Structure formats: structure tokens, C-alpha cells
Chains A and B, each alone.
Chain A
Amino acid sequence: MTNARDIVARNVLWNRLISVCEEQANALMRAAFGAIVREAGDLSAGVFNAEGDMLAQAVTGTPGHVNTMAASVRAMLEFVPADTLVPGDALVTNDPWLGAGHVFDFVVVTPAFVKGRIIGYLASTSHIVDVGGRGWSAEGRSVFEEGVTIPVMRLRKAGSLNEDLLSIVTTNSRVPHEARGDILSLLTSNDTGVSRLIDLMEEYELTDLAEVTAFIFESSAQGTRAALSRAPQGVYESRLTLDGYDAPIELRAKMTIGDGRIDVDLAGSSPVVDRGINCPLNYSAAYASFGIKALLAPEIPNNQASLNAISVSAPPGLIVSAERPSPVTARHVIGQALPDLMLGCLEQALPGEVLAESSGALWTIALSGAGKTDFTSLNVALGGMGARPDADGLSTTAFPSGVGAVPVESAEVAAPLIYHSKEFACDTGGAGQYRGGLAQRIEIGSRLDEDLSLSAAAFERLTNGPAGRQGGLDGAAGEVTITDGTAVSDKGIYLIPAGERLILQTPGGGGFGEPEDRDPGAVVRDLSEGLISREAATKIYQK
């Protein structure tokens, strides 16, 4: 095809498809309830062709959504066949194994009809604040305790809203009106996307997306292949030990780098546990692929073809491949450790080119009133990112998650809490030629002098700090204590008695390269800024 107009058109179309998704994701973010969801961009949007293959996806959003969504549409169409859909229909589910790994995430899929024929689908997904069950904690012993699950069904039938279904969700939610609002947002977001898609096809006089699909997939497959080929072929293994709920968990990976593709096998990882930190394979695969892509192919847009070049598998029943009815609420504790596990394999393929380990799982601070006043407050505490091969790690910055912290002032307006301090923690960044990002120390108490309840579900890496690379030292392990002397040691529920405070110190990022190779000027500067102690400066950074 050398027709100039067509060549230009398919380039414009690809850009526009990405823009349509991006727009929908941004609209969803603004309308989402819950500060964390908003800060996090815990959502996504994508455009699919008539076969259910993903053509484009918003880059806004966390990696967990970015890759699970690609599989959702096809999976959902297996339950409701495409030939039964009519204009005005929309499908929904929050099944963790079909959507994004826990019941909080709802996926809505809307077919786009042109002249009575489905030409594609718009899909979007977002985290709903509460769908019942035990709420945000790892205490559920099975997924049945974690909230209401909606199987794949029509959220809208030929234009009329399925109020029966919505009332099942709202009846089961602690915040029914917000839950309804968030689900309706998904629906309108898809509708806007569908009309934008149809406008676009009219502008370019298209009757289907076949040609643009071919262009996107061919280019992406070729580009991904070239990008992955940077890593030498071979088989690489790596392992990682996490604290687990109350006993250590091992994650293992065997990565086979082939001719322009990468296959990962997570066999050998620990089996599922009976608390909600298990991870469905779709979510594990999403984060594992993210780690690989961020290192090797960051510029290539997400679509079916670029994602197909990476496969992640595991025998069923492991903590990385949990099956129903394992509890999965805090699945990010495992999922977000997978990029470091992948980078551990890639370090062997490309020694010296891979960043050190980061603090990993996002520390969710889930506090609620345990005295007279009833409230819940969700925030996150970020640790350090691993040092890069040519730069220090970023301090108090999430990786692999894209979530940022809720401002202290907003958190204190929303809940009767006082943040007493929030500062960098000295000597927590792993020493190295490039230093790991610093962790932080946060002190929180009740404003009302009442008891507080804490879910420690996401406080990970309390035992082992993130590992350094190429001679860099490990970042500091995290530490969580209550001023009454209690040390948080597992992922359960803790009481913070009235008058006491919670003290969190997140993990620091691992260092890169030998500490004695660090630029002396940088050591002096770190010391003068109080980021490292005099002892570290003289003992660790001196030859």
C-alpha cells in the first residue's frame, strides 16, 4: 500500500486511537471517588477491534491495569458472545480472574456499532472504593469474604440500564452512592470513546478497523522484537524472598529470552496462603511484563501485538497464580514485587544495565476509627527506588506502581488524624556508586485521642531490604512500630491505643556499584544534607 493518503491516514488513526483512550482515562480519573484512586490513576481505558484484540491503551494508569485489560475483552466475550450483543449494550464484571485481580476493579466493555455491525469495543476499568466483604485488608480467608463478585453480564441492555445489577452492587457496598457513580462513569466514558471512534472512522471514510489493525500490529510486533533482541538469548533465573503474611514467601522466575520474545515461568514460587495477598496469574503477568517492558521496550505502545511478545506462565495454585477461591484483595503485595524479580533475570542477560531493587509493594496506610468516631482513611507511604546504572535512585517515589501520596493537609481534612512528621530517613538508601533512593519516616496519631485500627496488609520488606546490584549495598528494610512498644511483624490488624502513635519507616532503594567508587563530591553533599550519617560517609564510602 503506497497510496499517500492511506499512509498518512493510518498514522493519524493510530495516534488518535491512543488519544481516545488517554482522554477516557483522564476523564475517569477526575470523576473517580477516593483520593488514592485519583492519585494512583488506578484505572485504564483501551480500544479493541471487532475480534477483541487490543489496538491501543491509555498510558495513564497503573501497570496492573495496563496489561490485564488486554485479555479482559476476549475473556468476557466468551461468556456473552459478540453475536448476541445489540447497540446500547454494555458488559461488566469485577471477577478478579477476568478483570484486574481483585473485586475492587470493575471492567466495563461497550461494543461500537457501525451500520448494525460491531467494528470494535471500548473498555475501561477503575477501582471502586468499596464492594462489601471485609473491605481493604488481607483478612479474608477466601474471595467469598472479600466482597460481592459480579459475573460477566450486561450493565446496560439495548440502552436501558440494568438497575437490578446496580442495586446488587450498591446494596453490598459501604459507600453505595459513590460505587454507583464510579460504575456509571465507566459507562459514560466508554460511550464518549465509542462516539469518538465512530467520528474518526467517518472522517477517514473507514468501514472497519482491519487495515489500521494490521498496521499497528505489524509495526508493534516488529518494534518489540527489535527492542527485546537487545538482551542476549538464553535462560536466566532469579529469586526473591518476601516477608509474606506471617511466614516468608519465595518468588522464583525462569526467563527464556528467545529470538525477539521472552517467556517467563514462575514455577517454584511459594504456594498460595490463606490470607488475601495471593495474586491471580493475570495480575502477576501484568506486572512481570511491565518490568521487562520498562527496561527493554519503554517506547512501544501497549497493544495485543506488543504484549504478545512476552508470556508469563505458572502452574496453578501458587501465590503468583492463585485460583478461585483464594483471597486476593492485597494482591499487589506480590504483583508489585515481580518487576524486581524480572530485573533480577535481566541483570544476568545485561549485567550493569539494570537498576537495583526498589521498595516494591506500595505501602497502603489503612487506618480506621476504633473508638467513638467511625471513619476510614487510606493513604500510601512510599519508599525509595533502586539506584540506576548512571544515577541515584529517586527518593520516596513509587516503583513499579505509579501511585503518589495524598497530601498531608488533604488527608487531615478527610479524617481525624494528625501526621506528626513525614521526613526522609537518614542512611536508608542503599550505599553505592549511585545511592538508592531514600525511604521516609512518618508518624501518625488520632486527632481525637481515640483508638485507631490499622490494617498492616501491605507493609512488605520488613525483613529484607531491596537488594543492591554490581556491588551496591541493600537499601534499609522497612520498620513499623506503635509507640506503646508493639512492633508490626505480620500483615494482620493492629490496635493503636488512644494517645499512641504509629511510626512507619518505608524501605530504601538498593544501591548500584561499589560505594567507594562514589563521587566524593556526592558523598560530601549527602552528608551535608543529612541524607547519610558521618559514620556511613567514613566507613562505607571510604576505600
Chain B
Amino acid sequence: MLRIAIDIGGTFTDVVAETPKGLTSVKVLTSAQAPEVAALGGVDRLLQSLSKSPAEITAVVHGTTLATNALIERRGAKTAFVTTAGFRDVLEMRYEKRFEQYALDIEMPEPLVPRPLRLGLAERILADGSVSIAPLEGDIDALAEKLRSKEVEAVAIGFLHSYKNPAHELAVAERLRTQLGNDVTLCLSSEVAGEIREYERFSTVCANAYVRPLMSRYLARLLSQLRDKGFDGSFLMMLSDGALTTLDQATRFPIRLVEGGPAGGVALAAHVAREVGSDRTLSLDIGGTTAKICFIEDGQPQTNRRFEVARAWRDVKGSGLPVKVPTVELVEIGAGGGSIANIDALGRLKVGPKSASSEPGPAAYNRGGEDATITDAHLTLGNISSEGFAGGIIELAPERAPEAIARQIQDPLGMEAVEPAAAGIIELADETMANAARVHGIELGLDISSFDLLVSGGGGGLHGARIADKLGIRRIIVPQNAGVGSAVGFLRSPVAFESAISVVEPLDAIDVVHLRSRVEDTLAHVRGIVAEAVPMERIVCSVKVELRYSGQGLEVPLSLPDPDGFEKGFKDLTPRFEERYRALVGFTLENIPIELVSVSVGARERRAPAEDHVLVPVGEGAPSGRRDIYDLNAQALLSYEEIARESLNGGAVQGPAVVPEAQTTTLVRPGWLLRRSSQGHLIMERAGA
């Protein structure tokens, strides 16, 4: 077995090889113009170091931010949008509201398709799916002529109520295809995101059409060059929801690839969670500029069907383009190592979301950054050591850290020493992250204190214990070697595909037999897609529904048994909905119809059973030294034991202790007990738990 994962990000491309002996990785700079060049270069280097040839590769799994970057930088195809006459401005009107109440200077994103390329066609399907106006062939032909004259590369087609009845989209696409030939890309809103709410569906189909020519050219180049080198294995792409799919699907629906990279990170967290037997896991990845939160239950990350790309105004929620595709539900917080601490106009201590990033970076990087950052605070407190920082890649000027904090935080707040100011910065950052997790947990109706906290990224081990304290969490997992997390995550992801059906009807008015046949059709479709890469007997299917009280916006997701138990499962929905609603809201309502909003149908590769994990007690971790760290609660220095991860071997160590490593440092706060799992992951438990 030789499996290769390629993760192409905006700056770096990670390539990871997995053989029966383990993982090997290489990091190269992304070649933005032709991303396959750097990626294939990385593959070559890796194969050389392993003394392998491309022909020996059994599988390549690939994730890329190329589609996302094309949307952000507006480098996609010249795209036209064909829609119901009278509704061409839906794409630009958006939600018709301001995403910030008090900011008078907000800007909306430019639509991907400018007004002259948004063309109306006389046709109309009504809310019940019936045809009010059928499109005329002559009108379609005139439209084709117009599209030809404008020399568009891609055409997105989106008609009102096509989620209910796609007939007009299909008919128009077919006729346009014969007129325009195969060189023009055609995308249908009913296929890309067949759900109610026209703006979001139209936005999704336009984004898909916009990136599809670019993505299909790129993927074809990458694959043909791999094949030329003798590669003969399978090729899979990472989707935004943490699943893998075939090249064909990826090429048709490139918009589903946008969050592939971050999804890989979550996939790895989910894998580690399964390895250590954690069935409720809160993943927190603390990077250089932001932290990302995702809830994982039974090894399965929370997903959502709505995502926003290419935010246009100060990265504020609501300023981007909505896309309705399955996506891991990540909450991103502006708190990472480079986040800047400052005192605002009201005299409040604030941390983030502004970041010093890696250039100029924290004050201690000594590259012109004067702002005090979270990293500077850790250095000032002694949480991290300036020697061997980031594996020795960055040479620090550690004295600049306390200088910056004294100047920007300690003096303005009138604090007596620099350490408490630094500790205050960390406390604020911990609070920001913990609070975001708490709020997100409440939104999802989860009891956060029953979760384990899995921390990754450079700052994970530093912040984990305090955040867990704030959330009432009693177990923390710090995975082994998560430096190339996303790419490794690709290797741990199943092949899967999901598709949603909009219904929006009261439960008691639904023709269950008809719905069952729609679900079965969709199931056959998604199973067919997965079957291209996975043997039938290893495919498992799932059906999920979203219910709400008619008139409310709170949609409650529930699972349904597969079609064999469909009718029975359908009958149970009402009591199950009420139970879940009561858990979320605190009461149930009477005499208000319960409405089925949508059904989502998925097929996925069955996961290999997790290997048993054991904690091998091989002696105590031997301290290799001590360091003093300021503690805000005690308002004094505390002495921490320094322990090397390898020396732990399953033995237990009482906090305060610190595990310094090249990429991260783990702080074991007082009251926590540290052990190491057989896979090498650090496990911290609340003493007495």
C-alpha cells in the first residue's frame, strides 16, 4: 500500500505518503499559476525519499483551495446566468439587508455575474411544481444566440421553484447544449443545490459555473501528468463536508470542494477521537491568525448545508457569497498566535480579530511588528521557550515581547507588572474561544461539558486546559504530530456523497409512499456515485430530515431509518421532534402543524473498525527540568515540571507540568493529570475525574 495525500493551500502545499510503515511528509511552496507543478514536485521528492515509483501509488487523495481562491480573487470563467424573466437581479439584491446594523460604510460583494450577463427567459413554475408558463423553443434559441455573441465560457441556469420541478432547467439546458456545443459549461441550480430559497440556490449555481472551467482544466492536467508518470491507482477529491468523492463528481460540482482543506483538519481530529475512544469531541484548532471550532459526535463531524465564501467586507459574517453545499460546520474565531492585543477607545482590553499574521508577525519575531500578540504574551509568561521556536525556523528576539506588552497593555491599564498584563491577554483569548464554543454548543443544543476537548495547531496545547476549565470539560486530547493535519485527514476520510430534497409540507399532509420513492431515487443516485470508488457491500446509507413547527425558523434535524423502515420511522417523527424541540427550547407547542422542511440522503464508505487503544503504563514521566510560569489565579509564579512527550509512555504526571515540543507546547495546569495514549496522543484529565 502506498497512498498519497496532496493538500494545496494558498501558501503551502503539503504532500503526505502513507505506507504500512507509517507517514512521511514534505511541505513545498504552492505554485499559484499552475498548482499541479509544485504538488507533483512534492510527490516526486517524497517518492524518491521512499525509493518508490509513481506506478506503486495505490491511491491519491487531493484537497485544494483553488476554487476558493478563484472566487476570492475573481479569477473564474466569464459566466452568464439564465433565470426566470423578471428575476435577474435576485443575485445582486441578496438578502436586502445590512449585515452590520451600525456601520454605514459596509459594502456588498460584487455579484459573480454582472447584470448584462444575467438574462431572463419567459418561463414559470409555481410553488406547487405546476407549470404556469412553458419556455418557448424560439426564446431559448434567441438566448443561445445571445450567449454565443457574448462569448461566455459558462452558463448557470436557475429558475424559480426548480427545487420542486427541474423540468424547465433540464429542457433549457438540453437545447442550449445542442446550440452551444460541449465547450460551454452548463450548470443547473436544481442539480447543484436543489433547495428552496432562490437567492442562495442561484448564488450556488453561479459560483459552481464560475469555477468549473478552471477546476476541470486543472484537475485534468494534474491527473494526466500523474498518469504520464505511470500512476495507475485511484484518484479521489476531498469535499467540504469531510468526505472523499470521485474526480467526475468533483469536476461537475467543484463548489463542493471549497472547504476541503479545513475539512481535512477536522477529519483528522475525528480520526484521533475514534482512536482514543472519544464519542463526544470538541475540536479546537488554534493557528496563527484564527481558531476553528467543530463538534464531533461518534467520530462524525457536525455538518451544515450552508457556507459563505469570499467575504467582501472586513471578513464580517454576511458579507460573502452564500453557497448551499454540505460543509463541516466550523466556527472561525479571530484568535490565534498572531492576534493583536490592544486597549480600545473605551479602555477595554481586546484581543483579535486583527492579526499580525506571519508578516510582520508578533513583536518577538523582530520583523517590524510592534504590536503585542498572543504569542508575545506566551513568551513573556514563559509558557513557550524562545529556543527552538517553531522547530527552529524562526529566530526570536524574546526581549521584544514584554517590551511590547508593557508599552501597549500594562502601562495604559496601570498594572503593576508585565506578567499579569500578559496573563490578562491569554485569559481574554481563552475567554473568546471558550465563549464561541459555548455559544455554538448552545445553538446546536449540545451539553458542552459532556464533551472532550481535542486541541490542535500551534496554540492548542497552550490554551486547552484553561478553556476546558471554563467549559466544565474534564478530558483534553493533544494529538501526536498534527503539523500536516489536513493532508493526513484526507487519508482518514471515507468516500461519501450527500444530496438534499426540499419538501416544505406539513407532516400529516405528506404522501409517504411518494416521498419514499423520491428518497429511494436519490439514494440510488448517491450510492451510484460512491460505488464508483467503493465496493457496494461496503457502502452504508443514511437519511436525515429537518423538521420545524410551521411558521418557525428553528429546524430540528433527525435521522430516519433507511427505506425499509421508512414508513414506520416516519410515524415516529412527531414524538421524536417534540422530544428534541423540548430539549432545545424548553417546551413544546400544541395545535401547530409540524412541517418537513427537507430530506438529505447520503451514502458513505463503511469505516474500518478502530484499532484497540491501550494506555501502557511504563513508568512515570521523568522531568527534564523546571520552569516558572506566572499564574493569574494565584497571582504568583508557579513552578512547572518540564516533561518530554516520549518519556511519558503511559505513566501519569500531575500538573503543573509542561510538555515542550517543536510545533507546540502543552501546558498541564494545576488540577490536571497527564498521560499518553499508545498512539502517542497526550491525554489530560481533570484530577479526580
Contacts and interface: CB of A to CB of B under 8 A. Distances in A.
Nearest to B417: A4
Nearest to B591: A177
Interface string A4-48: 110110011011100100110011011111110011000000000
Interface in A181-205: 181, 184-185, 188, 191-192, 203
A514 B347 CA distance: 41
Interface in B39-95: 85-90, 92-93, 95
Interface stretch (B1-9, B408-416, B647-655): B408-416
A498 interface: no
A405 B199 CA distance: 11
B161 A177 contact: no
Contacts of A117: none
Contacts of A403: 97
B11 interface: no
Interface string B411-432: 0011111001101100110011
A252 to B, nearest CB: 24
B553 A30 contact: yes
A423 B104 contact: no
Given A11-B424, A184-B587, A407-B199, A395 B93 contact: yes
Given A19-B439, A443-B86, A29 B95 contact: no
A424 B344 CA distance: 41
Interface stretch (B22-30, B107-115, B396-404): B107-115
Interface in B87-130: 87-90, 92-93, 95-98, 101-108, 114-116, 124, 126-127
B514 to A, nearest CB: 18
Find the residue from A12, A14, A443 having the highest chain B CB count within 10 A: A12
Given A29-B553, A408-B160, A188 B96 contact: no
B413 A181 contact: no
A177 B431 contact: no
Given A397-B97, A402-B97, A409 B104 contact: no
Given A2-B415, A181-B592, A223-B345, A409 B107 contact: no
B145 to A, nearest CB: 20
B294 interface: no
B321 to A, nearest CB: 16
A246 interface: no
Contacts of A531: 115
Find the residue from B101, B115, B124 having the highest chain A CB count within 10 A: B101
B687 interface: no
Contacts of B93: 395-396, 405, 422, 424, 440
Contact of A423 (B87, B107, B108, B586): B87
Contact of A413 (B92, B104, B115, B196): B196
Nearest to A400: B101
B96 A405 contact: yes
A421 B88 CA distance: 9
Nearest to B419: A4
Given A403-B97, A405-B95, A4 B424 contact: yes
A300 interface: yes
A35 B114 CA distance: 30
A293 B103 CA distance: 10
Contacts of B414: 2
Interface residues of B, number: 74
A331 to B, nearest CB: 19
A407 B197 contact: yes
B407 interface: no
B549 interface: yes
B552 interface: yes
B588 to A, nearest CB: 9
Nearest to A38: B553
B590 interface: yes
Contact of A530 (B115, B163, B585): B115
A298 B102 CA distance: 5
B346 interface: yes
Interface in A129-154: 129
B180 interface: no
B156 to A, nearest CB: 17
Contacts of B432: 15
Interface string B184-223: 0000000000001111000000000000000000000000
B504 interface: yes
Nearest to A9: B427
A408 B552 contact: no
A355 B161 CA distance: 38
B504 A413 contact: yes
A211 to B, nearest CB: 15
B589 interface: yes
Contacts of A184: 586-587
Nearest to B593: A177
Contacts of A188: 585-587
Find the residue from B102, B421, B590 having the highest chain A CB count within 10 A: B102
Contacts of A294: 101-104
Contacts of B428: 8, 11-12, 15
A365 to B, nearest CB: 13
Contact of B102 (A33, A59, A129): A59
A418 B592 contact: no
Given A4-B416, A407-B198, A398 B431 contact: no
Given A38-B553, A298-B102, A408 B115 contact: no
B132 interface: yes
B435 interface: yes
A299 interface: yes
B86 A422 contact: yes
A398 B96 contact: yes
Nearest to B549: A181
A541 to B, nearest CB: 18
Contacts of A22: 439
A397 B86 contact: no
A382 interface: yes
A275 B626 CA distance: 78
Given A4-B635, A11-B349, A409-B160, A399 B98 contact: yes
Given A8-B632, A203-B470, A531-B115, A420 B86 contact: yes
A34 B551 contact: yes
11 contacts: A2-B415, A4-B415, A8-B423, A16-B435, A30-B554, A181-B552, A185-B585, A405-B97, A412-B127, A422-B90, A423-B86
Given A412-B127, A421-B87, 4 more contacts: A5-B635, A33-B549, A59-B101, A399-B98
Closest 9 CB pairs of A and B: A421-B86, A4-B420, A404-B97, A298-B102, A188-B586, A223-B346, A8-B424, A529-B115, A412-B127
Interface of A: 2-5, 7-8, 11-12, 14-16, 19, 22-23, 26-27, 29-35, 38-39, 59, 63, 66, 129, 177-178, 180-181, 184-185, 188, 191-192, 203, 219-220, 222-223, 226-227, 293-295, 298-300, 355, 382, 388, 390-391, 394-399, 402-405, 407-410, 412-413, 418, 420-424, 440, 443, 447, 528-531
